[in-house]
Structure 1
Amino acid sequence: MVLIAAAICTKAGKTLVSRQFVEMTKARIEGLLSAFPKLMSAGKQHTFVETESVRYVYQPLEKLYMLLITTKASNILEDLETLRLFSRVIPEYCHSMEETEIADNAFNLIFAFDEIVALGYRESVNLAQIRTFVEMDSHEEKVYQAVRQTQEREAKNKMREKAKELQRQRMEASKKGLKSPGFGGGGGFGGGSSHIPLPIVGDTASVPSDLKPSFTTLQKPSVPTKAMKLGTKARDVESFVDQLKSEGEKVISPSSNKPVTSSKIPTSIENVHDVHLRQEERLVLSVGRDGGLQSFELHGLVTLRIADEKWGRIRVQLENKDARGIQLQTHPNVDKELFKLKSQIGLKNPAKPFPLHTDVGVLKWRFQTQDESCIPLSINCWPSENGQGGCDVNIEYELEHDHMELNDVCIAIPLPSGCAPVVNECDGEYTHDQRRSVLLWILPIIDASNKSGSLEFSCQGHPADFFPVAVNFVSKGSYADLKVVEVTSVEDDSAVKFSDETVFFTEKYEIV
């Protein structure tokens, strides 16, 4: 057989779908289709009609005809068998034989027709194979779309992580000018860049002036100072963050009250004395969406800065109220026995002074636990399907340690792309970041008087779309319950005036 075309038309002669399988002009095929209704005559029982050049083989389908146009030399028995297969394909994709239903599924019908006939000749296929072949095309498209969405999502996550890392580096460079050297160790909590010579405890050699970070940097890290020009790395970070801002990214300084999605360190104290101690703690925390602490890791570091050589030989008295067994570790040049017996930080050789004009790490700690009671702020996110293609999301927070005060709390809930949430109830403030498809829940302060709150909103999507939830906050209180109470001179045991600051912040806190 040579099949010229297959078409679905109404009994009035209107063509709904037509597929031709051999080379033929548009005018020719339209002429053949328009001639078919004129050849029909009432009362005949035949299912074919011929002209001088072609044969029409047809089958009535309620208000429609399934029509095949073949050559007159074609085997009519094969034509009728092919016609029956075409007629069986139509109900596979159309629930009714209405014109609108045929038009809505025209492309699926054409794909199926192409599986039956190729270049005018019948393929050796059955209905099940046709269904499989057509569905395979659709399946491949879905796989492609899923892979593409996954790649886009991974690219966005990498971009977000890179922006967070660069913002953190920028804040460190802005705050100190160079990373805390820790006693020239280069490793651990106070490790510095390998190409910068770092002071050694007890070494009285002066630090080159171009490497000395200024106090202005400690006081106002959000304001660019000369410390920002210490190395090309700081300038690169500055340039990259400025570029993100120019492209519309909300990358802001940590001193602002606006929400940020990266780790942030609050502004240092304004009045810095010649002896200044800084206690910094960063928290990495992961909690399951159904509950359960997956990981908890706290890193802490105490750094000492001395601005006047007359205060180089001192001892620092600490008060440790921790009851969780956090292990503290002093620098090798610090007298460990003195610290164990009296909780004092002093050099092994009291005759040598601490380095001047630089932050030196004197004490560090690392705390890991699986105890859920150690979580400072618990978050419960509960999305549930509402039966309308979307979810009702309830999220609540609770401060677990009443003595703590958390500032600039920002809880970021991811949203499906292109969906806008409808907020029904909110304790605090919220904002919808359309560019990142995230809902930011903002709470300026959480303390014992404001220890719990909730947010309720509705949004299109599935429950898994609203994870992972990211939490950021800062605190001026120490998680490890460690406090500097006194600084004394080694020579005459007299009190030395000092300033200190404590910073506790989240480096990564997620509900996954």
Structure 2
Amino acid sequence: MSREGEVLSCEVKGTLSLTANTDEGSTVQVVLDKAAIASSSIPFTLNTHPKIDKATWESSGVLSIKGGKGIPLNRPVGVLRWSHSSPAAAPITVNCWAEPDGSGGQSLCLEYEARDGMELGEVQIVIPGVHAAPTGVAVEPSGMYKHQPESASLVWYNQAVSAAHGNLTGSLEFTVAGGSADFFPIQVSFTSKPLCPMSVLGVRGQAGDVKHDFTARAGPESYTCS
């Protein structure tokens, strides 16, 4: 992102991996909710692993290894990838105003805005260049802040950001002494559900349904405002 709030580039990538813990698990068929993926507001591009039976996947949303072969035991094996590249896919944006405060100091007013429908956790915005303890700190509507002199940064933290928490948008304002502070690049981190609505409807083996667990998680590899 630029400091003016413009998303310059955004790429979302994900992988579905299977880990088989038994011989039966190595040859299962995984049924995904393909309709939910197709109805997503983000048009993801999907690609299966070359060993996956593409015809079965395309016709019924079932992931299975070609020829009834199995996958190696006790290690994750990627079977499906998805990707999308568009500024509109950014889960959260940051808009910054840095300017002299009129008294020899430097002020920063930062506003974030999460995309409608997003539920973000552990949202942390790290602002560099804050060598001295900031003054006049104002936070709206929620969150905690902490000055970290060892890294010359100010950290603004929200445990959760969502419509339910009433904080899809928020602002932070402060002033530091001296007029040469460089507050960029600002780093943003968070946790969330995958933007691609990946859901497992069932896992089938030769003898019927197979007991399984499904874990979905997402987070930014790099999320920068400069």
- Cα distance 1:414–1:309, how it changes in 2: closer, same or farther (>3 A)? same
**Within 5 Å, which residues of 2 pair with 1:313-462?**
313-319=27-33, 320=37, 321-350=39-68, 352-369=69-86, 371=87, 373-402=88-117, 404-416=118-130, 418-426=131-139, 427-449=142-164, 450-462=167-179
Deviations 1:36-63 (A, max 9, x none): xxxxxxxxxxxxxxxxxxxxxxxxxxxx
Conserved in 2, the CA contact under 8 Å of 1:334 and 1:345? Answer: yes
Alignment of 1:17-36 (within 5 A): none
Q: CA deviation at 1:322?
A: 2.5
Secondary structure of 1:497's partner? coil
2:197 to 481, 485, 489: 481
SS at match of 2:124: strand
Matched, 1:499 2:217: no
Amino acid of the structure 1 residue aligned with 2:80: L
Q: C-alpha separation between the residues in 1 aligned to 2:159 and 2:211?
A: 32
3-state SS of 1:410 partner = strand
Q: CA deviation at 1:463?
A: 7.8
Choose between structure 1 and 2: higher strand proportion: 2
Q: What are the within-5 Å matches in structure 2 for residues 150-169 of structure 1? A: none
Task: List alignment gaps of at least 5 residues for structure 1.
Answer: 1-286
1:391 shift after superposition:
2.2
CA distances 1:150-187 after superposition (whole Å, capped 9, x unpaired): xxxxxxxxxxxxxxxxxxxxxxxxxxxxxxxxxxxxxx
Q: Is the 8 A contact 2:12 2:89 kept in 1?
A: no
Q: For residue 458 of structure 1, what is the amino acid of its counterpart?
A: T
**Which protein has the larger Cα radius of gyration, Structure 1 or Structure 2?**
1
Aligned AA for 1:364?
A: R
Distance 1:461 1:367, change over 3 A: farther
Amino acid in structure 2 at the alignment position of 1:343: G
Deviation of residue 349 (structure 1)? 0.9
In structure 2, C-alpha distance between the alignment counterparts of 1:423 and 1:304, rounded to whole Å = 51
**Contact map agreement 2:187 2:224 (CA 8 A) in 1:** yes
Q: Distance in 2 between matches of 1:455 and 1:508?
A: 22
* Cα shift at 1:464: 6.8
Match of 1:311 in 2: 25
Question: Shift of the alpha carbon at 1:461?
Answer: 4.3
Counterpart CA distance in 1 for 2:180 and 2:202 is 52
Q: How does the TM-score come out when normalised to structure 2?
A: 0.89
* Cα RMSD after superposing both structures: 1.8
Identity %: 32
Between the aligned partners of 2:219 and 2:81, the Cα distance in structure 1 is 16
State the secondary structure of the residue aligned to 1:340: helix
Contact in 2 for aligned 1:421/1:457 (Cα 8 Å): yes
Partner amino acid, structure 2, of 1:339 = W
Does structure 1 retain, via aligned residues, the 8 Å contact 2:97–2:110? yes
Structure 1 or 2: more helix by fraction: 1
State the TM-score, normalizing by the size of structure 1.
0.41
CA distance 1:399–1:421, shift in 2 (3 Å): same
Identify unmatched segments of 5+ residues in structure 2. none
- What is the aligned length? 218
**Residues 5 and 93, structure 2, Cα contact 8 Å, conserved in 1:** no
Shift of 1:392: 2.4
1:272-298, Cα deviation, whole Å (9 max, x unpaired): xxxxxxxxxxxxxxx111232211112
**1:324 offset after TM fit, Å?**
2.6
Classify 1:386/1:478 alpha carbon distance in 2 versus 1 (closer, same or farther; 3 Å).
Answer: same
| CA contact 1:411–1:441 (8 Å) conserved in 2 | yes
The Cα of 1:462 is off from its aligned counterpart by 4.4
The alpha carbon displacement at 1:495 in A equals: 2.0
Question: Structure 1 residues 374, 464: CA separation in 2 closer, same or farther (over 3 Å shift)?
Answer: farther
Partners of 2:179 and 2:60 lie apart in 1 by 57
Letter in 1 for 2:92: L
CA contact (8 A) 2:185 2:224 kept: yes
Matched residue SS, 2:31? strand
